């Protein structure tokens, strides 16, 4: 069944209510479109930013909805193919002080949750499957659906996956970049796709950027479509939503939604023009009519709330980083990567740990991830020697692009390295790449 067909099967009460309200909204949008078309005639080079809204519906009998009734299980689906169960995935449950327990998904992608693992953030699940990126997430997890991402090969590819709980029924993942807007009504742009749109709880919703453009900023946000007329709702915040960011073959960032916050829009994160992933974590209160201009205007109300910060321990972060360096020099690359990431969890502003992580990723063959880590090291560089730190990371990125015969990008980053710290090695790199073009 197509996405459009599924968008007309709400229960009768909601259907009548929404149909009436959306008819009124569509009349508003027609007026908006008329206004925008008039503006286009005045300036043909200016693109209208109208978000077209049509009624959505759901299929009440889809697989993941029926499975969610069983609260002692979780379900594993593909992040890129609608409702495809992942068979034979290994689901590892871990909790401090307890022996790890493993469940294997069945033909419907279902794994049983073992006894003795409380459904709270102290319990961690690790989902593994050959050909897919390993997913690591904190519980609560009972009755939920998780989606795992096939490994990506493009150095500049990014995949973003949204999962949530039973309510609200319909959350939408949106991406804004340049003058483009990718969401359920515009599922495809050049090099960008909304792979999966879900309307019946749990998710996933997935957007894949096949090739991120240098110099372009990408913004990701979540809209509570179920409560689009209720800007003061807290259902979005209480949805247990999680946003996973994948690069290469790795899950490199997870965003957990804050709870008990008013608002029906969650501005999650952005990718900067230079490729750095930047946390936003803001809530907005909006109706459908001003969502159209959300990313370009101030016609909405921001919700003020105090975000929960992870514990920052600079001293412990340095100690864990040293352990990572020891494992790296012993050629235990996987263990060094784990330790560097732990160091970053303890101190998210620890640029040296990102630099070390980039080297470990590169040596381990994770080139896309190495580029991401080096970009973060560049963004965090500080102090009197920051130009040297930046130059080293630019050089590391340039070498990766040269290895992969992406000579335009290699020249870009060798030039950045040379501009920050003129060295003969950087000049040789530039000349070498130019000779290959």
pLDDT in tens, the chain (437 residues): 444 443 444 333 444 344 444 444 443 433 344 444 443 344 444 333 334 444 455 454 455 544 443 568 999 999 999 999 999 999 999 999 899 999 999 999 999 999 989 999 999 999 999 999 999 999 989 999 999 999 999 999 999 999 999 999 999 999 999 999 999 989 999 899 999 998 898 989 999 999 999 999 999 999 999 998 999 999 999 999 999 999 999 999 999 999 999 999 999 999 999 999 999 999 999 876 555 555 555 445 677 666 655 667 899 999 999 999 999 999 999 999 999 999 999 999 999 999 999 999 999 999 999 999 999 999 999 999 999 999 999 999 999 999 999 999 999 999 999 999 999 999 999 999 999 99
Structure tokens at 265: 């829009």
Separation between Cα atoms, residue 175 and residue 50, nearest integer Å: 14
Where are the domains positioned within the chain?
Answer: 63-145, 152-303, 314-436
Give the global pTM.
0.82
The phi, psi pair for 24, rounded to 5°, reads -65, -40
**Amino acid 62: pLDDT:** 52
**Amino acid 303: pLDDT:** 72
**Paired strand residues for 260:** none
Name the superfamily (CATH) of residues 314-436: Tetratricopeptide repeat domain (1.25.40.10)
Same fold, 63-145 and 314-436: no
Separation between Cα atoms, residue 398 and residue 381, nearest integer Å: 18
Separation between Cα atoms, residue 414 and residue 257, nearest integer Å: 39
**Amino acid 33: pLDDT:** 40
**Amino acid 10: pLDDT:** 37
Separation between Cα atoms, residue 147 and residue 135, nearest integer Å: 9
63-145 CATH: 2.60.40
Separation between Cα atoms, residue 414 and residue 418, nearest integer Å: 6
**Amino acid 65: pLDDT:** 47
Separation between Cα atoms, residue 89 and residue 73, nearest integer Å: 14
Going by their DSSP bridges, the two strands 90-95 and 123-128 should be labelled as antiparallel
**Paired strand residues for 124:** 94, 138
Please report how the helices 386-403 and 367-380 are oriented relative to each other, as an axis angle in degrees rounded to 10: 160
Strand segments (E) across 120-178: 123-128, 135-138, 145-148, 158-163, 171-177
Going by their DSSP bridges, the two strands 250-256 and 171-177 should be labelled as unpaired
Could you tell me the CA-to-CA distances from 228 to 107, 113, 284, 285 in Å, in that order?
36, 34, 12, 9
């Amino acid at each position: 069944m197509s996405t459009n067909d599924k968008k007309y099967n709400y229960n009768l009460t909601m259907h009548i209510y929404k149909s009436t309200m959306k008819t009124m909204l569509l009349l508003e949008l027609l007026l908006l479109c008329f206004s925008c078309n008039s503006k286009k005639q005045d300036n043909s080079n200016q693109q209208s930013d109208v978000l077209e809204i049509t009624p959505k519906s759901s299929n009440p009998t889809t697989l993941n909805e029926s499975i969610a009734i069983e609260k002692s299980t979780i379900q594993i689906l593909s992040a890129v193919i609608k409702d495809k169960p992942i068979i034979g995935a290994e689901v590892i449950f871990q909790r401090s002080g307890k022996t790890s327990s493993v469940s294997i998904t069945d033909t419907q992608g279902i794994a049983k949750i073992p006894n003795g693992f409380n459904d709270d953030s102290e319990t961690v699940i690790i989902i593994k499957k050959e050909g897919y990126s390993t997913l690591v997430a904190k519980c609560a997890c009972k009755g939920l659906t998780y989606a795992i991402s096939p490994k990506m090969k493009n150095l500049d590819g990014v995949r973003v996956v949204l999962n949530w709980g039973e309510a609200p029924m319909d959350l939408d993942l949106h991406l804004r970049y340049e003058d483009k807007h990718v969401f359920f009504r515009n599922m495809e742009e050049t090099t960008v796709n909304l792979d999966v749109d879900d309307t019946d709880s749990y998710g996933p919703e997935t957007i894949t950027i096949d090739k991120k453009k240098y110099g372009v900023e990408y913004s990701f946000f979540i809209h509570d479509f179920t409560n689009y007329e209720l800007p003061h709702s807290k259902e979005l915040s209480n949805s247990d939503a999680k946003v996973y960011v994948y690069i290469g073959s790795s899950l490199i960032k997870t965003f957990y939604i804050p709870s008990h916050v008013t608002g029906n829009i969650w501005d999650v994160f952005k990718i900067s023009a230079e490729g750095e992933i930047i946390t936003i974590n803001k809530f907005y209160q909006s109706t459908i009519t001003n969502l159209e201009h959300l990313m370009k205007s101030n016609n909405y109300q921001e919700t003020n709330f105090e975000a929960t910060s992870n514990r920052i321990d600079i001293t412990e972060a340095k100690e864990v980083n040293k352990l990572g360096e020891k494992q790296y020099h012993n050629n235990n690359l996987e263990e060094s990567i784990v330790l560097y990431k732990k160091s970053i969890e303890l101190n998210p502003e620890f640029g040296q740990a990102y630099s070390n992580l980039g080297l470990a990723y590169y040596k381990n063959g994770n080139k896309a991830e190495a580029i991401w880590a080096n970009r973060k090291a560049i963004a965090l560089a500080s102090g009197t020697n920051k130009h040297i730190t930046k130059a080293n990371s630019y050089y590391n990125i340039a070498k990766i692009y040269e290895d992969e015969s992406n000579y335009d990008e290699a020249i870009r980053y060798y030039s950045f390295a040379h501009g920050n710290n003129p060295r003969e090695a950087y000049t040789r790199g530039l000349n070498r790449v130019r000779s290959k073009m």
